[in-house]
Amino acid sequence: MSGPRRKRSRIQKRPGITRRSFLKGLGIGTASVGGLSLLQGCGSDNDSTTATDNRTTPSDNTPTQNVQFLHSIASGDPAFDSVVLWTRITPENTNRTVAGRVDVFKDEALTMFVKSMDFQTTAAQDFTVKLICNGLEQDTVYFYQFRSNGKTSPVGRTRTTPAAGNKRPLNFGVVSCSSLAHGFFNAYAKLAERDDIDAIIHLGDYIYEYGNGQYGNVREYEPATEIITLSDYRTRHAQYKRDEDLQKLHQRFPFITIWDDHESTNNSYRDGAENHTEGAEGVWEERKGFAQRAYDEWMPIRLPEPGNRAKIFRRVQFGDMVDMFMLDTRLFDRDLEAATPINPTDGVSSQPDRTMIGEEQYNFLINGMRASQAQWKLIGNQVVFHQWIIKPGLNNPAPAQLGELLAPSGLNGDAWDGYSAERQRIINALRGDDGGEAINNVVILTGDVHTAWVADITDNPNQPIDAVGGYNPITGQGSVATEFVVTSVTSPGLDLPNQIIQAIRLTSPHIKHVNVTERGYSVLRVAEDKTTCEYWAVSTILERGGSETLSATFEVADGANRITPQGIYPVDVVTGLLGV
C-alpha cells in the first residue's frame, strides 16, 4: 500500500555511497551478492528416517562456542510429505561455522522421535538455517527443536498438508501488514491461541522499511533509519523475529508467505519504487536483491526454483480441497503504477500492455488453476483486485475531498484498478472467454490496504445487463469470483471519511463489506459446501494484550462464485448517507 508519501527532505540520506564502497563496508564481495543458495548451502538431510533417536551422538553436543536462539524458530510452505524448518543462531564468534541439528517428533513432549537433520551455517547466510524436512506423513502434526553447541531452541509445532485424495475441511489464518512502529502484534498472539489452524497465509508487509518517526511512533526500529543495505534488511528482519507475539505464531503453525512492497520499499515494482532514490540510496537492482536475499534467509519460504530468490510465486497444495496460488504482484514483473487517483482521461490505467504480474506468472496462475484438481482455488494476492469506483453526481452532499477523488475508472493506481486490462484478461479467463474452460471456486485473498473489504469480481459492477458482462447487485449474478481483503495487524487504515467510503459503495455494488478502522486478522474456513471468511478485530495495538471480537463473517457457496447475499443492498449505504 502506499505508505506515507515520501517527504524526501525528512529522510536521512546516505550521500556519496558508491556500490563498491557500500559492499566493502558490508564485508561482501560483489560476486557473492545474491549468488548464494540458502537451501542448497545451509544444511543437509541426513535422512534419519529410521526413527532411531541418535540425539546422544550429534556433533553439536560438544560446545565449541557460546550460541543463542534469540530469533526462535519457524516452519513454512508445508507439503504432504515435507515442510521447511527455520531458525537463526546468534554465535559469539561470527567468523566461525556453526553446526547443529534439528530433531523432529510426533509429540510435544519430544518422546516420539521421527528424524533428525544436521546443519551448518555461517555469516554468508547471516547464521540463518533453513532445511526442507522430507519423508513426513501427510496431514500430520510434528514438533521440532533445533540444537547447537549444547543449547536448544524453543519447540515448534507444524503440520503437513493433506495428500491427494484427502478432502477434509481446512482453516487458515490470513494476515497482512504488521508495521512494528504502529504498535503491538496482538493479532498474531490471538491467532496463536487457536487450535484449529492448518497454516498461516501472510500476504505481505511482514516487515516495513521505514526509519524511526517516518511511519508510526509506538515502537522504535532497528536500525533506526530506513533500511537500504543488506545489513539493514537483515537487522530489520532480526528485530521482527524477536517480537514475542510473532514468535508465538511461528511456533504454532507453518507460514505461507509472499512479499508485498514494504519487504523491499514502498510501492516497489520491477524497476524501482516510490520510496527509492536511485543513486543516493544505491542502485535499485542491488537494493531489490538485498531485500530478496534477506527475505529468503529470514523467512521459512521454499523457493520454487532453488537459488532463484527473485521468483517466489508458487503453488501450495492441500489435498483435493485447496490449491493455493501465491502471487508476486510487486517485484517479479510489475510495470510502474498509474497515478492515484487514476485519471480516467489519460488512459494509463487501461493500457492493454500494462502488467502487474507478467506473462510467465499469468500463465502460472491461469494454467495452474485450470489444471487444478482441487475444489477451491485460493489466490494469495497483495493489492486490491476488485474495482473501487466513485462516479460524479451520485453523492450528495459531497465533501471537498470527493472532488479530488472522483474517478470513474478507479481510485487506486497501485491496485489492480491501475492495471485494468490485465485484470480483465484474468476475469475473461475465469469465465472461459479466453478459449479455455471456465474456472470456478476462485477466492482471492488480499492485503496491502490495511482495511477490510469483501467483494464480488465482475467486469463492470454498474452494468446491469448480464448478457454483456453485467452484474446484479442484489443476487450477485454476473460475478465470476470473490475477494476477501483482510485488514492489517497494526498498519493504519485508510484515512478516508465515512462519506467517501459510502460514496464508493453507492457506485460499487459489488462491494459487500467495508471496515476501515479495525486491526486484526481473518480466519478462512474452506469446506466442501462453502468457504467462510471471518474478520476478527483486536481491541488495541497500543499495548500488548487486549481482547478480540468477531467483526464480520461472509460466505461463498460451492459453485456460486459470488458472496452469499446478506440483507438487501444497499441498506447500509442508504443509512450511512442518511446519517442513521
CA distances from 327 to 316, 363, 444, 496 (A): 11, 12, 11, 28
Shortest reach from residue 260's CB to Fe ion, in Å: 6
**Residue number, 149 or 491, with CB nearest to Fe ion:** 491
User: Measured from the CB atom, is 128 or 491 closer to Fe ion?
Assistant: 491
Give dist(CA 243, CA 246) in Å, integer: 5
Side chain identity at 82, as an amino acid letter?
S
> What x-and-dash track marks residues 199-238 binding Fe ion by CB under 5 A?
------x---------------------------------
Output the smallest distance, CB 521 to Fe ion, in A. 14
- Smallest distance from Fe ion to CB 179, Å: 7
When the beta carbons of 1 and 104 are compared against Fe ion, the nearer one is 1
Helix, strand, coil percent content, the chain, rounded in steps of 5: 20, 25, 55
Least separation in angstroms between residue 382's CB and Fe ion is 9
> Given the complex with Fe ion, which of 205 and 328 has the nearer CB atom?
205
Write the binding mask 470 to 499 for Fe ion: x where contact by CB under 5 A, - elsewhere.
---------------------x--------
Residue 452 lies near Fe ion (rule: CB under 5 A): no
**121, amino acid identity:** T
Tell me how far apart the alpha carbons of residues 312 and 330 are, in angstroms, rounded to a whole number.
11
**CB of 85 or CB of 485, closer to Fe ion:** 485
Least spacing, CB of residue 203 vs Fe ion, in Å? 9
- Contact assessment for residue 207 and residue 264, using Cβ atoms and an 8 Å cutoff: no
* Binding span for Fe ion by CB under 5 A among 27-35, 125-133, 197-205, 284-292: 197-205
Compare residues 204 and 319 and give the one whose CB is closer to Fe ion.
204
Minimum distance of Fe ion from residue 448's CB (angstroms): 6
Q: E strands within 342-480?
A: 376-380, 442-446, 452-457
Does 538 help bind Fe ion (rule: CB under 5 A)?
no
> Mask of contacts with Fe ion, 165-184, x by CB under 5 A?
------------x-------
| Smallest separation (angstroms) from Fe ion to the CB of 176 | 6
Residues 66-125 binding Fe ion (CB under 5 A) are: none
Pick 259 or 376: Cβ nearer Fe ion: 259
* Residue count, binding to Fe ion (CB under 5 A): 4
1 binds Fe ion (CB under 5 A): yes
| Contact present, 149 and 176 (Cβ < 8 Å) | no
When the beta carbons of 198 and 205 are compared against Fe ion, the nearer one is 205
Total Cβ atoms within 10 A of residue 272: 17
For CA atoms 123, 20, 303, 430, the dihedral sign is positive
Pairing type for strands 199-202 and 255-257 reads: parallel
Q: How far is the CB of 491 from Fe ion (least distance, A)?
A: 5
Q: Is 232:223 a contact under the CB 8 Å cutoff?
A: yes
- In the complex with Fe ion, the residue whose CB is nearer, 294 or 480, is 294
Q: Closest by alpha carbon to 457, among 486, 436, 428, 435?
A: 428
**CB neighbourhood size of 559 (10 A):** 10
CB 564 within 8 A of CB 557: yes
Amino acid letter for position 323: D
481-485/151-152 β-pairing: unpaired
Q: Is 10 exposed, middle or buried, given 0-12, 13-18 or 19+ CB atoms closer than 10 A? A: exposed
CB of 483 to Fe ion, least distance (A): 17
Residue whose grid cell is 544444511: 43
Which positions touch Fe ion (CB under 5 A)?
A: 1, 177, 205, 491
